[in-house]
Chain A
Amino acid sequence: MPGRSALTDYLASNNISAQQIRDDWDRRQAEAQRQPDQAEQESSNAAEESRSPSVLESPEDPVKKRKRQQAIARIKNSKEFAKRKARFNGDYDDEDDDDLALQIHEEKNRPQPGQLANCEICDKRFTVTPYSKAGPNGGLLCIDCSKKQKADEKKPPAKKRAPGIGRRQNQANLLDGLTPHGTQSLLETCIKKVADYIHDIEDFGDLPPSLLLRLGQILSRRRAVTSRTLDLFLRPQYTSIDLFDCAKLGTDDYHKILASMPRLTRVNLRFTTPLKDQILHYMMERDMEIKDLHLDGPNLVTDACWRQLFMKLGHRFLSLKLWNLDSAFDNETARVMCLHCPNLQRLKLKFLHKLDNDMLEGISTLKSLQHLSLRFLDETETQTEPLLKIISSIGPQLETLSLEEFYLADDRLLQHIHEHCRHLTKLRLTLNSTFTDKGLAAFFTDWSNPALTYVDLNSLRDVDMTNPAGPEEPIGLASDGFVALMEHSGSKIQHLNIASCRHISYKAFEQVFAEGKMYPNLKYLDISFSTVMDDYLARCIFRCCPALQRLVVFACFKIRDVHIPRGLALVGTVGATIKIDGITQTETI
């Protein structure tokens, strides 16, 4: 056909007729014109007829009518119909049935957003939007009428929040170290904001290392350290890198770290699953000046590679911390380590599956060691004798001693520490059910070591399900041991964890936190699962520990109603009423 436009051609090829579109448009226009007139007629007509305007719309052809009746019959069988019907009660007959079905049918046939419709109230023509309101008879309303309608409707009363604070959010904040008082520091707020927008940041500029460390911590916690964000942390001039979640980095990224920071002396990487032999080989090839190597979970590194590393670079190592190795690092590797790293000052080995008592001997040859942390797997049968040897040979120089989960170590270990250690500041002996209260009391009494600053003795208790009160002669840290500990270290102690030491009596707590006693430096105290703890004892603790910042009281159910000082975070209460400077907060559960 000559004179046909390109668009018409295209439409025709897709089986659309431009002519038909035009005809439809004309018809709709004409209908719309007619509608208002009909409405006027209707109002003069009988009332019942006006109820169903669609019937009067036009003399319907029989096909349409039949279709509509079918649709109505379908609706009558539908769930929605049954639901609506159920809302009516009392006088209800078949005629209402028909009306309801018709109403639903009309609602379903409402114009779609973007189409035009006539307002149900004022008959004005308007464009339907998803926000168009339904009128009283099921039709749609124009903007003006829906505004009027809305004003008529009473606003439902605002949902009231229960008074008090949500336990979950509150505890989450407390565990993050936020005291509920006042605003956060600008620094912390900004760091959080930077972490929120980390993907839009191209360069940190001149951020000092301390801020990089804090940002690294927050990003790691959000699991946002990826190859891309890693680039922001790589600074050739810096000598240390700390990333606490490397799980999303690939092998190449580790190469990148080492290659772009050639002056590294401190490498602290956690969750380092993809770290392989070649990375450590690269370290050796470049003869990097690594002094501190802290790696968590580098499970793909083989024993041969570890040994080579210690032989090549071991003499420089000042601190070595390894966690969670299950497929490599056996006793022989540990022996090589002790042989070739004579300058080690800090050694921490935790959850290294292949290590056991045999490797302990080597540790006593590390003559520079000052900080020692060991934790084997819980199925390892630990013995006391090798530990005694370590303490007697390197005990005098130790500043930190952390022995976790040595279940079977007995009072002889305590005696050895008492005898040999003179410079301890941090002591952690946890998860043991062999030490006696007597032994612990004797250990802290007349100990020539100065007062400790960090003490963690959690879970020193007897475990016997059939005898929850424990034996006559208390096992683990009980009353006498606790009193002796506080006598010895009370003046300097900053951090104390005695969670699960459940044989400490009410009297012992009363004695330790009696009026006149003062622990001026104590900032952290964990007394979880000490079931005797109550409101009175909590008040005594607040009185005796003016510097206290955090008190952990999981499972201390007798703490119900306390007034806590400013700046203190009370962690682990359940449903307690907490007063802070006259502001009462009741925890909702």
Chain B
Amino acid sequence: MAPSTDSEFVTIVSNDGFEFIIPRSAACVSETFRLMLSSTNFPEGRTGRCVLEDYSGIVVEKICEYFCYNEKHKDQVNVADMDIPPELCLELLMAADFLNT
């Protein structure tokens, strides 16, 4: 199979099987994803598919939402913070720390 590094999109998978397909550039906001995806030594780099074993679909959805939010607003000034539901914030905090975002 051809290395996926040229594909424009990557797939993020949650531990309960939800798949989110987002632009590669958006996902690479996360330093962790960037390293995973940039090298063909990792399976993630070869397939363009990252599985987040520790996080459920709800959290992964929010993470992907942030990626897109960030991508959309990267050239704007004085951007408001993305809204995060309070019940998710601790889990998201751990995820953000893991993803280095």
Chain A contact residues, CB within 8 Å of chain B: 165, 170, 173, 180-187, 189-194, 196-197, 200-201, 204-208, 210-211, 580-581, 583, 585
Contact = CB atoms under 8 A, between A and B. Distances in A.
A537 B92 CA distance: 44
A190 B84 contact: yes
Interface string B77-101: 1110110101001101111110101
Query: Top 8 closest A-B pairs, CB basis?
Result: A190-B93, A193-B89, A187-B96, A186-B96, A186-B101, A180-B77, A182-B74, A197-B86
Contacts of A583: 77
Main DSSP-derived SS at the B contact region: helix
B79 A194 contact: no
Contact of B97 (A180, A189, A193, A211): A211
A583 B89 CA distance: 33
Given A189-B84, A193-B86, A211 B93 contact: yes
Interface of B: 63, 66, 69-70, 73-79, 81-82, 84, 86, 89-90, 92-97, 99, 101
A237 to B, nearest CB: 17
A189 B75 contact: no
Contact of B93 (A183, A184, A191, A581): A191
A186 B82 CA distance: 9
A185 B29 CA distance: 9
B35 to A, nearest CB: 17
Nearest to B70: A183
B90 A186 contact: no
A183 B81 contact: yes
Contacts of B77: 180-181, 580, 583, 585
Contacts of A208: 97
Contact of A189 (B82, B86, B90, B95): B82
B97 A183 contact: no
Given A194-B93, A207-B93, A207-B94, A182 B86 contact: no
A189 B90 CA distance: 11
B101 A187 contact: yes
A250 B79 CA distance: 40
Contacts of B82: 183, 186, 189
Contacts of B93: 187, 190-191, 194, 207, 211
Contact of A180 (B66, B78, B90, B101): B78
B27 to A, nearest CB: 12
Contacts of A187: 93, 96-97, 101
A186 B66 contact: yes
B56 to A, nearest CB: 15
Given A183-B70, A183-B73, A197-B86, A190 B92 contact: yes
